[in-house]
Amino acid sequence: MGNWIANHWFSAVVLITWLALNIFLFTYNFMIFQYQNKYAYTRVILGSALAWARGSAACLNFNCLLILLPVCRNLLSFLRGTCTCCRRSVRKQLDHNLTFHKILGYTIALMTAVHTIAHLFNIERFYDGAQSSNNTLEGVLSSIGNGDGDWVNPIRSKHETQSSICFTTIAGVTGVVITLALILMITSSTEFIRRCYFEVFWYTHHLFIIFFAGLLIHGVGRLVRGQTSESLDSNRYEDCHNKYTTWIKTKGKDGNDDDDDDDKCFMPSFEGNAPMTWKWILAPIILYVLERFLRFYRSQQRVVVIKTVSHPSKVLEIQMQRRGFKMEVGQYIFINCPSVSQLEWHPFTLTSAPEEDMFSVHIRSAGDWTDNLFKVFQEKADNPPRLAVDGPFGTASEDVFQYEVSMLVGAGIGVTPFASILKSIWYKFQNEDHRLKTQKIYFYWICRETGAFAWFADLLRSLEQEMITSGKDGFLNYRLFLTSWDSNIAGHAIINFDVPTDAVTGLKQKTSYGRPIWENEFSKVAEAHPRSTVGVFLCGPQALGKTLQQCCHQYSSMDPRKVQFYFNKENF
């Protein structure tokens, strides 16, 4: 429990604050439209559905204000850079940007459902009011109005239907468009679609442009109406509410209105509420547009492909150069290849070190876009296709050297951010004047097939040699795990059991067969470093992340002066 608080207390504060603001906005606006005298006659027609619609609308405005901020990657990278002096728990919130983005998206979907259902009831009540006779209060109210817009019921004729509001008014049309766009964005954002049909997710998610455009003009029609202040003052609501039968325009013989009879209640006048949504979302839209302009400008800078290497297991290494490119360990970039797709951008972790004069990525063929990219580079080996690069952007792995002890866990191609880290360590060891806060690194790489080890083994071999030469052979402890093998591999490993180097990788550290027993690994680290802060970094699947996070909580001491594990996961 103590470590959970250490890892998540600030996240809990942020979520509780966000939830409290949602509850406050909903309740505040609900009470206004449910009890304020200004909307008393509007409630006669619509009932409490009016308050439900307006309460949910306030929450929609608030969450639409926030939802673009977690995907402003340049803003997050800037904040990460300026928060280096902040506490670890504060900086870690930036790593949850996509999680918060999803929470906001689901909340918007929920509030949209409440808002839409409430307005469907309102439309039905508007229609019933228009069909009512003038002997009822609903009928009298529905008949009020003229060409100047002094009406409370938008259905102005008994011949109009509910569809007239849905498909002929600004609020109705934009509401339908917004809802359809939101449904497509939410349904295409599921884990299955994103992993198996990323292009579908990518294209449909850009419907957010239509979504926000619709939001900006949704309230222009001013369908939600209340009494004007002059009408409230002249009619003395408390006295007149039950006297609707005397709402008549008394005219004298000279044709002028007779307003001198204080015993009579005159017809109320109504006005629409001014649009409010644009006041909430205009600033984040402008910020996001500036973000996109900056990313577009950087994507237009010339990128030179200096080398490509095809590794086993369908992994393509691309080494590039771009003027002014600066990076930190563990960061990632977005890559666009116009020969494959003019519009699609895909994120890849940098595998180069900041000390190198180029930057590189390792791309595994695992989908339509990556398959096509692989083919294009094979077909144009002598003349590589043009690439556009946006970034780099910060991730949790930037903090790897902020811990006394770090545990790096990579699954398959998820080893890429740690390739950058280990390369940087190699350069730092060569610089004798450089001092690291980190005293020990435990590195775990889990792969399904032996070919995946090939491209990374050379780096580990160089690190082994460098650490032995510099007298720091105890700095890096690495374990390689092969989770899928056949009888030939097992037999070969048994035959070469006494050989100093591993039969699969050629490294001094022998490959383990099967998956790590994480309880044992965490227990060993806790015993070896009883008074240290240990950063656990993962680039891999969610299931593995849950296991590691549970171990972080289990093996952290309640005493903050003893070993503490802090979990960090890569999120694109």
For residue range 484-533, what is the model confidence (pLDDT) as tens digits? Answer: 665 555 555 555 555 556 655 556 666 777 788 898 889 888 888 888 88
Among 72-76, 258-262, 329-333, the least confident range: 258-262
* Chain centroid to CA 67: 7
| pLDDT confidence of residue 261 | 46
**pLDDT (tens digit per residue) in 341-375:** 888 888 888 988 888 889 999 888 877 888 888 88
**pLDDT (tens digit per residue) in 185-219:** 999 988 888 877 877 888 899 999 999 999 999 88
The secondary structure of 379-421 as a DSSP string is HTSSSPPP-EEEEEE--GGGGGGGSSEEEEEEEGGGGHHHHHH
**pLDDT (tens digit per residue) in 127-161:** 888 888 777 777 878 888 765 667 888 887 777 78
| pLDDT confidence of residue 17 | 95
| pLDDT confidence of residue 166 | 82
Mean pLDDT for the chain overall = 80
Which pair of tokens denotes residue 214?
Answer: 């619709």
Q: In what order do the strands lie in the sheet with 440-447?
A: 512-513, 476-482, 440-447, 405-411, 533-539, 564-569
**Domains parsed from the chain with CATH numbers:** 2-228+269-280 (no CATH), 301-393 (2.40.30.10), 396-492+499-569 (3.40.50.80)
Question: pTM for the whole thing?
Answer: 0.78
**pLDDT (tens digit per residue) in 95-133:** 788 889 999 999 999 999 999 999 999 999 888 888 887
Among 21-25, 92-96, 102-106, 218-222, the least confident range: 92-96
Residue 62 pLDDT level (bands cut at 50, 70, 90): very high
Please give the share of the chain, as a percent, with pLDDT higher than 90.
Answer: 20
